[in-house]
Structure 1
């Protein structure tokens, strides 16, 4: 089934046709359509409902679609063409830490349109796909501070002779004035959900049950899905492990997955194919489990320490 046509999509989203490298005669062959931005780029202050669809502090979320062969009155010289493919730029292979799995999700959505696309197949849109931009946390003298995070989405519509329409969509998430990484955090569990698990909750990972697992780590769901729950992995379950065994870090599969201390058949280290979490974050997970994995309060009486 084809996704919604461009006209319907534009009723919900802000059109983004940024910086095309093609000439006016090809600028309508592909375009990014985004839920935020000024049509050329997205710059969002974390927590601003006008652009950020994620209520979690420290993360900006936008929805982006790709639309093909979409006639544009502002580009009257551009007419739909036969398209062989559409490529979302991404670092390969997916084991490279720079590989973006959200870009991969968008590529997969575009591929479902079915190629080649004929010139008379117009207003074809794939998506929307969520783009999550987590603010970096910089620990410095006097405390921790948020730091802006940016990335650029690039794509190209390809014809029989090569690229026809090349576009880029710069996206940037900036912290709100005076925002502190510990604002609103009232427990160690809160801190884990916002500062540790955020890298695991992309659309291709643990944002919801699925993607080959039953574990969602988003705020409000992580605790019930972790504490006292047997893992899906048969080898870990047979060894008597729980995802989180309160008071028993040595029998908590979550900690094994983060450290990469896994027995045969227990799968891969997490986050999968990305750099290992900082030692301080893993130590916080261990301290939380050792303290009984409480749903409220801080372990060790230390409070929030990014």
Structure 2
């Protein structure tokens, strides 16, 4: 059965990718993209990479798919233009070349190389956590993660700069009993799952990014069902939510400098506690960053130029 599942994934992934590029309708392309993301998450799970599978399912498929569908509602579909772009031969040649390059890179790896796994395992006890991925992201390579959070923050500000308007909840939509009941039933489950993912990141697949994506998904549902308005940069709560994670991370990073230590050198006794505090703060910021990509209102269209 395992071999049959792997063979099915090997066939379906390239097929879905090709259909996404070849489809003539944008709506079909979005649906196929979501299906491709789900199969990709299964592929990562089969490769024993559950952390990447969780991120792919939550962000690469769930939130990105919702963003594409939300954007699709603003656009006027033109299938002829999509078909013309999809049939350009250079796109196929570039895809084949990139696939060949990636395949060569994988095959060129030494068969007996274990990478950095032995070094991480040797210092796992000093990291403060039991899961190697969390140890790498928030301890051994914490500086990289801090810069990544800064990049996410800049991306969120850029997304809101493109469309600074926000939308308040529609009173008529708020009175819909079906969506209201759905939101009330879903909210406790989302909070429980997000809290579990933060807690389990100490010793298993999970962490701040996965938990933040789950909270952001709940926020997107709240926006779509008019349970809340889109985040506004003028709101002090939104600004604090965006800055909580980066500020906490910076505080924990520079604190060892006061006692003569080095940047991001956690005290071994409190390393696990500090990492957990940072992850909780990052969960809030990541969720708000992802919500900033859903402005809710249709962006203004440029007026057509008048022909003389």
Is TM more than 0.5 here?
A: no
Structure showing greater relative contact order (alpha-carbon pairs closer than 8 Å, 6 or more residues apart): 2
- Structure number with higher strand proportion: 1
TM-score, normalised via structure 2 length: 0.26
- Structure number with higher helix proportion: 2
